[in-house]
């Protein structure tokens, strides 16, 4: 069964594929102590889709959800943000949930997503025919970590996206709690290197592959057409083919909470890519989008 899409007569510019979950965020005190919490949603690919709409583009979020109130809350919020939905409902598997302890330097998260509806995504989930007219297909390293069928689906998605005439965007987005380091190290390198556009944090690249600098990351991922290495509050570097790398420093931001900034950066960069901007402008757009999320407690850009 599929949730009816909020389809537009114009083709989607970007399709973001991956899991969203219910998000329970502690308020006023850590999870172990608080008596109040906020209920929202979390999901890297959904965050990117929302950011793309906020930047003026037609975005789709594609996934699977359980037949439960958390799923309804997610779909209601995505529609409220103007994101088109290509979502299947699974009556036999739940929507995942995560809990978050917010912090300025870092946030601790706890996942309850094993066996979720999204983990049942499999090859053929999106066909080349469904993707026809789409310019970018985006996913992250979270999706192949969910299950063997999801990993196979992502491999097939690269093929099907290109068959449909789209480029593939991949954010490494390593989630240590989801799989072993050895498994992540090999799979994420393979998928990032095969992408047309890949995003990776310098710190997560060092954790995964022992690459200390952006140049080292590029040497480890030489085949990716356009590689963006993010280095927190330092800045971001883009490597395009054999051209000289382009670096843009990050703006100074009073950080409220860091989760979601990487997804926002990707949305800003990809929106500027669709606009035909040069690399420096794309990097600046990524920083600006990240800054808007860093100054709030939410994972998505604030609605005006």
Q: Which range, 7-11, 84-88, 288-292, is most confident?
A: 84-88
Block residue for tokens 């971001």: 236
Q: Which are the contacts of 205, defined by CB distance < 8 A and separation ≥ 6?
A: 172, 211, 216, 217, 220, 229
On the question of pLDDT at 8 being above 90, the answer is no
- pLDDT per residue over 33-75, tens digit each? 999 999 989 999 999 999 999 999 999 999 999 999 999 999 9
Residue 256, Cβ neighbours under 10 Å: how many? 13
What whole-number distance in Å separates Cα of residue 73 and Cα of residue 22? 8
- pLDDT per residue over 92-124, tens digit each? 999 999 998 876 566 788 899 999 999 999 999
pLDDT of residue 252: 83
SS3 198: strand
- CATH class of domain segment(s) 2-294: alpha beta
**Cα distances (Å, whole numbers) of residue 184 to 42, 152, 190, 206:** 21, 14, 10, 13
Q: Which residue among 203, 263, 275, 304 is the active-site one?
A: 263
pLDDT of residue 165: 96
263 as an active site residue: the answer is yes
User: How far is C-alpha 301 from the geometric centre of its chain's CA atoms?
Assistant: 14
């Amino acid at each position: 069964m599929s949730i009816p899409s909020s389809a537009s007569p114009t083709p989607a510019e970007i399709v973001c594929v991956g899991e969203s979950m219910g998000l329970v965020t502690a308020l006023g005190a850590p999870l172990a102590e608080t008596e109040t919490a906020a209920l929202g949603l979390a999901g890297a690919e959904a965050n990117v889709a929302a950011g793309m709409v906020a930047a003026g583009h037609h975005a789709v979020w594609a996934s699977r959800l359980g037949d439960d109130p958390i799923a309804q809350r997610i779909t209601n919020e995505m529609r409220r943000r103007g994101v088109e939905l290509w979502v299947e409902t699974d009556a036999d598997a739940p929507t995942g949930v995560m809990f978050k302890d917010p912090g300025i330097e870092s946030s601790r998260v706890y996942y309850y997503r094993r066996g979720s509806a999204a983990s049942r995504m499999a090859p053929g989930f999106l066909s080349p025919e469904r993707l026809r007219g789409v310019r970018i297909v985006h996913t992250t390293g979270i999706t192949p970590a969910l299950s063997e069928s999801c990993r196979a689906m992502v491999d097939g998605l690269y093929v099907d996206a290109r068959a449909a005439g789209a480029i593939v965007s991949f954010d490494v987005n390593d989630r240590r709690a989801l799989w072993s380091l050895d498994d992540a190290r090999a799979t994420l390198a393979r998928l990032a290197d095969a992408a047309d556009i890949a995003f990776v944090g310098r710190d997560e690249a060092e954790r995964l592959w022992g690459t200390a600098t952006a140049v080292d990351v590029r040497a480890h991922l030489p085949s990716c057409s356009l590689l963006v290495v993010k280095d927190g509050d330092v800045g971001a570097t883009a490597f395009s083919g054999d051209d000289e790398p382009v670096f843009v420093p990050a703006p100074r931001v009073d950080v409220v909470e860091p989760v979601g900034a990487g997804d926002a950066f990707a949305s800003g960069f990809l929106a500027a890519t669709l606009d035909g901007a040069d690399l420096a402008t794309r990097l600046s757009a990524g920083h600006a989008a990240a800054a808007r999320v860093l100054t709030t407690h939410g994972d998505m850009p604030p609605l005006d």
